[in-house]
Chains A and B, each alone.
Chain A
């Protein structure tokens, strides 16, 4: 989830 969180921006 952590990795995904940092990828929620464009």
Chain B
């Protein structure tokens, strides 16, 4: 564990907490994409299939449980909670998530480190995580008026990705044989998707104005 990975995990954790805070205390999920949240639930479910069979550390297992629990509870809130579900922008959040899942599954079947059930699903989760933010970014672009918590949620998620890249660079130079092309390329693609959002986020922060995206 290095400082970059810890920082990445903590910003990831913070992003989930910000979203849960918004949903739990304000009882609103306005501006949050259910499609993206469902994709994240699938990402964690397919990646952490080995939670019972492979043990890395208490920290790892605990974090896996937190990410699994939080992603599924966010989906539950948005779909079934009687007040929260009414604040969901159903008509704007129309991204077809099958268009993301199918290519990711095909790519995982073609490009993987080992052709085993767990390994292919694990690789699928990497590819899917890389593009899972897209429905959220599209929704953001459509609704345009973004409240602070939604903006902070996406900002923290992007921060998590940035720290993970620093973590990989650090591990590459400090650990022998640490080479994981699939993880790196998927992670890099994911981080690049945030670049545009970050640009406008910093612009609004610099000008001390509410975040607004161009049409």
Q: Are B12 and A3 touching (Cβ within 8 A)?
A: no
What is the number of contacts between chain A and chain B, taking CB atoms within 8 Å?
A: 26
Chain A at the B interface: mostly helix, strand, loop or mixed?
helix
Number of A positions contacting B (CB below 8 A)? 9
For residue B203, CB closer than 8 A to chain A, the reply is no
Give the residues in chain A near B167, CB-CB below 8 Å: 9
Interface of B is mostly: helix
Q: Determine whether B63 belongs to the interface, using a CB cutoff of 8 Å to chain A.
A: yes
Residues of B within 8 A of A (CB): 5, 9, 12, 50, 54, 56, 60, 63-64, 67, 113-114, 119, 122, 164, 167, 177-178, 180, 183
**What is the CA–CA distance of A6 and B114 in the complex, to the nearest angstrom?**
12
| Cβ-defined contact, B113 with A3, below 8 A | yes
Known contacts being A3-B113, A3-B119, is A10 close to B9, with CB within 8 Å?
yes
Bound Cα distance A9, B63 (Å): 10
CA distance A9 to B166 in the complex (A): 13
B56 neighbours in A (Cβ, 8 Å): 4, 7-8
Q: A4 — which chain B residues lie within 8 A by C-beta? A: 54, 56
Please name all residues of chain B whose beta carbon is closer than 8 Å to the beta carbon of A10 when the two chains form the complex: 9, 12, 60, 63-64, 67
A6 touches B60 (CB 8 A): no
Smallest CB-CB separation from B63: which chain A residue?
A10
Q: Nearest CB to that of B67 among chain A residues?
A: A10
Which residue in chain B gives the minimum CB-CB distance to A9?
Answer: B5
CA separation between A9 and B183, bound complex, in Å? 10
- Complex CA–CA separation, A8 to B180 (angstroms): 12
Contacts of B67 in A (CB 8 A): 10
Tell me the minimal C-beta distance from A8 to chain B in angstroms.
Answer: 5
Q: Which single residue of chain A is at the shortest CB-CB distance from B55?
A: A4
Write 19 A-B pairs (CB below 8 A) sorted by A numbering.
A3-B113, A3-B114, A3-B119, A4-B54, A4-B56, A5-B178, A6-B113, A6-B180, A6-B183, A7-B50, A7-B56, A8-B56, A8-B60, A9-B164, A9-B167, A10-B9, A10-B12, A10-B63, A10-B64
